[in-house]
């Protein structure tokens, strides 16, 4: 090894010195990627890590003798530009003369019909419940609905109202299209001439235009909980309960809400047929990434989006098949909220259970943000911003319920028998949340013990913390970090009250998460060149001026419906529990643990999951998915089968009218094309999700070119469209320079170190251990620590 072992005595840390840096070894580092490099804490090299790994002699020692790695200064950022929004109404479209005749009078007639149809649907829903056509408690379908259920709080009521009004507006638009026989290509131009306000629907969907922000909100150093008041000119941009935007024109069969058909006019192949034909279960581990890469992706997913389904009036889920897996009658489905998935008779798996119908309800609709008539748009119940909605909630009521209202802290589970080294768990979800919910405990067959009484599901800012034990573990780390920050800040500023401590801790934690996202996670997923090309590489020093008030940060439909589901391919069906010696103790099978966080209650298990996440390799992004997701998703104990997430993803893409995967067929392997041709009648019909996971990956990235493009541009909008992005200068939410430099020290490894009993970990947990990412002790400089002294308020004289 060429690396030097220059050891400089550790500097004293007793006084905070602004701009203070470790003395780093400049002498013995090789060139990396042709550039001068120097020895730094390893997480400062995360953007370069592929090159660091490929260059001999990049392992080095920091001034305290602990491992660092050699890499250049962060690369030049180009000035990335966002994708253009598609033109909804193309000016070359000439409206046919009968469409020209469309006027307010006819819109009002259609609106009457819309309201009538909506009432008929509600009536039908009632009669279905009376006839017991509903979802059975504990079934896979009832667990699936937990993914979308907003509980019974204020947000559920708000969303229900928006869905209903958007539903009326959508039926109205559909009525017009049918009555005037408007060709789908003309729909957007024909309808976008009319505002809801011009018609009888003027009282509907006006919560958006009614929103206001006062000066104190616009100038607040802290974000609102629901994301409003971030963009000064468009105060609802990025707010919870608003629509997704589109980067490609939608592909609804009627131009409004009817799912896409094949190009030849026939039905598209069943999503399950596609799933069994092109997706298989095979262990294809990545050589370089750990499952932390998957796990953090899910954190981002639960931060920036949650698409509720349509529910019945009493908030219970729609049944879309019979409980024994057979289709329902046409009449029972005539409310239009279901899109059940056909299971082929000869399905290699479900035929054993005699099931021909997989449950699927359509995603709830949002009011169109521009309040003009047009195609259906789906609703995001979380704030679109990167603001840790999963920790803090996306509405004030939930946020309030999560707080202790003392010393800025968040609620935790209080445990009678907590051992001296045991740290807090997330607070419990009340038992009566829904009668449909399966128990949160494991059966005796699985765990070997009787279900303990103390075991509860967890409550967090997002409704999905319990989906897997490792998700619950990760949420726990964020919760503990918030409380740790609040405690430290209180020591530095004894005069701060609960509100101030909560908000300051929240602001720091969100900044840390943003830094980890752009510094450690995104470079692995989309690759360094894409980061550079779009100007997404984090700054090493100083402030950014990247904010663009014309950029809508909202999540795109293509991102939620297809691209960001790439993570499903990385999931490992059997997470390992690994001990402090990094020896695997045992593994669990996901099918037994969906929404059953019992494992976390055993002291020491949280650490074993954390070490497992840092040890076990991630699966590659490809057409191989674990059977735990494709046959056993949300399996009811003892049934032997669950749902198929790949089928759900494909159907969701069609429900959202995500575009198909044209043009890109030349990137597929000929064998795959053969298989695709067996199920799709035209290559133009290929669903975006299926196309995306089948692309070969871009060199230096974890995904193929189409997903890379969609993910990269989404993260560009999330950064440049966020007035509270943590490295901006001169904004109400900006940090001081010293504070910002402390935020930059953060890493996922540091969060694990500070909030668990894990004491040894590699500095970049998303990457496997190697000589440039070696195991180090938590107290070493290799995993720098954020110093909170810059948050100490100067005493006023
Ligand atoms: C074991 C881990 C996971 C499970 C069990 C899981 C399960 C699910 C389920 C059941 C859905 C809803 C499907 C539908 O009906 O449309 C979903 C949606 C989604 N998943 Fe996952 N997922 C996992 C991991 C991930 C990861 C790692 C990512 C990203 C890196 C991800 C991204 C998404 C996205 C973006 C959606 C759309 C959500 C929405 O629209 O609300 N998931 N997942
Ligand atoms: Ca958010």
Buried b (16+ CB within 10 A) or exposed e, 758-783: beebbbbbbbbbbebbeebebebbbb
pLDDT per residue as tens digits for the range 50-70: 999 999 999 999 888 899 999
Per-residue pLDDT tens for 668-701?
Answer: 777 777 888 888 888 889 999 999 999 889 999 9
Torsion from C-alpha of 475, 291, 568, 81, nearest 10 degrees: 80
Pick from 72-86, 89-103, 207-221, 710-724 the range whose average pLDDT is largest: 710-724
* Top mutation candidate among 142, 147, 361, 383 for ligand 1, by most atoms within 8 Å of CB: 147
What pLDDT was estimated at residue 666? 62
* Rounded-to-integer distance, Cα 291 and Cα 624, Å: 15
Q: Residue 417: pLDDT above 90? A: no
pTM of the model: 0.95
Residue-level pLDDT at 682: 85
Total count of residues recorded for the chain: 797
Ligand 1 atom having least distance to the Cα of 148: 41
Q: Output the pLDDT for position 664.
A: 53
What is the phi-psi region of residue 407: left when phi exceeds 0, alpha when psi lies from -120 to 50, beta otherwise? left
pLDDT tier at 416, thresholds 50, 70, 90: low
Average pLDDT over residues 511-536: 97
769 contacts: CB under 8 Å, gap ≥ 6? 615, 762, 775
CA of 562 to the centre of ligand 1 (A): 10
Is 7 a residue whose pLDDT tops 50? no
Is residue 302 part of the annotated active site? The answer reads: yes
Token pair 């899109």 is found at 339
What is the predicted pLDDT for the residue at 701?
97
pLDDT tops 50 at residue 3: no
pLDDT of residue 797: 57
Q: What is the pLDDT of residue 113?
A: 94
Does residue 92 or residue 21 have the better pLDDT? 92
- DSSP letter at 622 equals S
Closest ligand, as measured to the CA of 297? 1
Residue 613: predicted pLDDT: 98
Among the ranges given (98-107, 288-297, 365-374), the one the predictor scored with the smallest mean pLDDT: 98-107
**Active site residue: 302, 335, 384, 592, which one?**
302
Would you state the structure tokens that stand for residue 745, as one six-digit string?
Answer: 């020290």
- Name the pLDDT band for 657 (thresholds 50, 70, 90): confident
Inform me whether the pLDDT recorded for 362 exceeds 70: yes
**Alpha carbon separation from 25 to 7, 673, 728 (Å, rounded):** 9, 52, 30
Query: Residues marked as binding for heme b?
Result: 568
Q: For residue 383, what are the contacts with CB-CB under 8 A and spacing of at least 6?
A: 225, 226, 227, 238, 239, 240, 304, 389, 394
pLDDT band at 795; cut points 50, 70, 90 = confident
ipTM of the complex: 0.99
Whether the pLDDT of residue 10 is over 70: the answer is no
Inform me whether the pLDDT recorded for 247 exceeds 90: no
3-state secondary structure 354-407: CCCEECCECECECCCCCCECCCCCEEECCCCCCCCHHHHCCCHHHHHHCECCCC
Q: From the annotation, which residues make up the binding site? A: 568
**Residue pLDDT, tens place only, 570-617:** 999 999 999 999 999 999 999 999 999 999 999 999 999 999 999 999
Task: Specify whether the CB–CB gap between 590 and 291 falls below 8 A.
Answer: no
pLDDT above 70: residue 30:
yes
**Cα-Cα end-to-end distance for the chain:** 56
577: enclosing H helix or E strand: strand 576-578
Cα of 507 vs centre of ligand 1, distance in Å, is: 27
Residue 678: predicted pLDDT: 84
15: CB partners within 8 A, 6+ apart? none
Tell me which residues have their CB closer than 6 angstroms to ligand 1: 144, 147, 294, 297-298, 301, 305-307, 467-468, 560, 564-565, 567-568, 571, 645, 648, 652
Q: In the predicted model, what is the mean pLDDT of the chain?
A: 91
Half-sphere exposure of 192 (CA within 13 A, CB side): 18
* Rounded distance between C-alpha atoms, residue 468 and residue 574, angstroms: 11
What is the CB-side half-sphere exposure of residue 776 using CA atoms within 13 A?
Answer: 29
Whole-number pLDDT of residue 13: 40
The Cα 691–Cα 693 span in angstroms is: 6
* In the predicted structure, residue 271 carries a pLDDT above the cut 70: yes
Whether pLDDT at 18 is above 90: no
CA pair distance 31, 58, nearest whole angstrom: 9
Mean pLDDT for 725-742 is 98
**Residue 518 DSSP label:** I
Contacts of 103 (CB under 8 A, 6+ apart): none
Out of 565, 569, 652, 655, give the residue to mutate to test ligand 1, the one with the largest number of ligand atoms within 8 Å of its CB. Answer: 565
Question: Is the pLDDT higher at 8 or at 452?
Answer: 452
């Amino acid at each position: 090894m060429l690396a030097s072992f220059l050891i400089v005595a550790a500097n004293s840390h007793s006084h905070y010195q602004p701009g203070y840096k470790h003395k780093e070894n400049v002498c013995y580092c090789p060139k990396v990627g042709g550039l001068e490099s120097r020895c730094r804490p390893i997480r400062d090299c995360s953007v370069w890590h592929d090159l660091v790994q490929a260059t001999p002699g990049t392992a080095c020692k920091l001034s305290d003798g602990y491992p660092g790695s050699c890499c250049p200064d962060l690369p030049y950022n180009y000035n990335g530009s966002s994708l253009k929004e598609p033109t909804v109404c193309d000016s070359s479209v000439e409206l046919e003369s009968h469409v020209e005749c469309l006027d307010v009078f006819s819109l009002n007639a259609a609106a009457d019909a819309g309201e009538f149809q909506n009432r008929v649907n509600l009536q039908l829903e009632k009669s279905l419940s009376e006839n017991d056509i509903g979802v059975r408690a504990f079934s896979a379908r009832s667990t699936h609905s937990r993914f979308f259920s907003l509980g019974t709080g204020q947000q559920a009521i708000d969303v229900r109202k928006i869905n209903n009004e958007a539903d009326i507006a959508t039926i109205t638009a559909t009525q017009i299209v049918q009555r005037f026989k408007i060709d789908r290509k003309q729909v957007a131009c024909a309808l976008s001439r009319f505002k809801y306000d011009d018609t009888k629907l003027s009282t509907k969907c006006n919560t958006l235009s009614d929103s206001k922000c006062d000066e104190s909100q616009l100038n607040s150093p802290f974000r609102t909980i629901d994301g409003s008041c971030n963009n000064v000119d468009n105060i609802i941009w990025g707010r919870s309960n608003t629509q997704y935007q589109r980067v490609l024109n939608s592909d609804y069969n009627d131009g409004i809400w009817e799912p896409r058909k094949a190009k030849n006019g026939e039905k598209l192949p069943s999503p399950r047929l596609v799933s069994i034909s092109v997706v298989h279960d095979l262990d294809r581990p990545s050589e370089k990434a750990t499952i932390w890469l998957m796990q953090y992706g899910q954190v981002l997913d639960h931060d920036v989006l949650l698409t509720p389904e349509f529910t019945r009036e009493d908030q219970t889920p729609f049944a879309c098949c019979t409980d024994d897996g057979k289709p329902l009658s046409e009449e029972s489905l005539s409310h239009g909220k279901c899109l059940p998935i056909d299971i082929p008779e000869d399905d290699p798996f479900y035929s054993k259970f005699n099931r021909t119908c997989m449950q699927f309800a359509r995603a709830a609709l949002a009011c169109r943000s521009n309040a003009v008539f047009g195609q259906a748009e789906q609703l995001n119940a979380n704030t679109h911003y990167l603001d840790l909605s999963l920790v803090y909630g996306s509405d004030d009521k939930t946020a309030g319920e999560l707080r202790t209202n003392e010393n800025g802290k968040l609620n935790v589970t209080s445990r009678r028998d907590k051992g001296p080294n045991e740290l807090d768990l997330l607070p419990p979800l009340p038992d009566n949340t829904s009668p449909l919910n399966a128990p949160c405990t494991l059966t005796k067959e699985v765990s070997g013990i009787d279900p303990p009484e103390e075991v509860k599901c967890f409550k967090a800012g997002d409704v999905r913390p319990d989906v897997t034990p490792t998700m619950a573990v990760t949420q726990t780390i964020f919760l503990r970090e918030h409380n740790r920050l609040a405690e430290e800040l209180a020591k530095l500023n004894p005069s701060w009250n609960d509100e101030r401590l909560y908000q300051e801790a929240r602001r720091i934690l969100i900044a840390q998460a943003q830094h980890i996202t752009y510094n450690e996670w995104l470079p692995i997923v989309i690759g360094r060149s894409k980061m550079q090309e779009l100007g997404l590489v984090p700054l090493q020093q100083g402030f950014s001026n990247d904010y663009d008030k014309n950029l809508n940060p909202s999540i795109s439909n293509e991102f939620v419906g297809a691209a960001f589901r790439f993570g499903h391919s990385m999931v490992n069906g059997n997470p390992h529990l690994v001990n402090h010696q990094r020896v695997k103790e045992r593994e669990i099978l996901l099918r037994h643990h969906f929404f059953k966080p019992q494992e976390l209650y055993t002291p020491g298990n949280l650490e074993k999951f954390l070490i497992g996440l840092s040890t076990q390799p991630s699966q590659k992004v490809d057409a191989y998915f674990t059977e735990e997701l494709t046959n056993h998703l949300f399996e009811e104990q003892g049934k032997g089968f669950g749902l198929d997430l790949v089928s759900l993803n494909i159907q969701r893409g069609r429900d959202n009218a995500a575009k198909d995967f044209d043009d890109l067929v030349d990137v597929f392997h000929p064998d795959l094309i053969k298989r695709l041709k067996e199920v799709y009648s035209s290559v133009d019909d290929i669903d975006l999700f299926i196309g995306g996971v089948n692309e070969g990956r871009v060199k230096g990235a974890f995904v193929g070119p189409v997903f890379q493009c969609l993910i990269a541009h989404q993260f560009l909008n999330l950064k440049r469209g966020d007035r509270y992005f943590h490295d901006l200068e001169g904004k109400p939410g900006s940090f001081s320079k010293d504070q910002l430099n402390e935020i930059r020290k953060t890493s996922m490894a540091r969060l694990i170190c500070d909030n668990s009993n894990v004491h040894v970990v590699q500095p970049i947990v998303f990457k496997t251990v190697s000589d440039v990412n070696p195991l180090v002790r938590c107290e070493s400089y290799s995993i720098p620590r954020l110093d909170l002294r810059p948050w100490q308020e100067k005493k006023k004289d």
